[in-house]
Structure 1
Amino acid sequence: MKLNERVAIITEENISRLSYLYGEIDIDDLSRIVNSHLKVAIDEIEEDSLKHKAQNCAECDFMKKYEYDKKIYYCNHTDRIDDMGKLGADHLPKTSPVWCPLRNNEK
């Protein structure tokens, strides 16, 4: 969701409603209230963007490697549906394989 879909413009009506809720407020109080709500909205946007980010094996804690003639990368996650969990030899895939248990960002 975009920021402009979550944040209201401060109009006289909004100021009036905030005054009704919080009593008479000056510009500093209004700024504090608005910035508090804006921080929550930005936090939610950041969470949403992380949910849509593709899982990358190089950044994953479950990615392990061993060297046997060449570097072998594998997934050590207990919920993987691939028996061996092999990710690649000498290099990792750009995104996680379809069998990755974290692919849908369910950590």
Structure 2
Amino acid sequence: MQDENLLKPVKALMEAMEVEDDKLIRAQFAPSATQAYGADGKMKTAEETAKWIQSDIISRQGKVKKPEYTILDGNQVVVRGQYSSRGYTNKADFLFTVENGLITSWRMRY
């Protein structure tokens, strides 16, 4: 049951990205959610993250093909697959932190 609760917002995010549902994409994130690139990258503020979700995920139609989910100890979920957006593609290696049913951080680990 705990695993399903952790996976729920992450899977919902991947599904919402696939169908380009911007409201559902935003609904998976806590208001205080943060985002960063790389293992050592500095996390954006919540305000910067909200803008990034709009500009880099929603507006660019970001999607992950064939997402594979791995639950780590605690409250983290890794998503791997093939990420693509307008003008960009790369292997996805995303680390999400989930708290109280919402994503609180998204780290792009390329």
Ranked by relative contact order (alpha carbons within 8 Å, sequence separation 6 or more), the top structure is 2
The structure richer in helix per residue is 1
TM-score range, shorter chain: under 0.3
Larger radius of gyration: 1
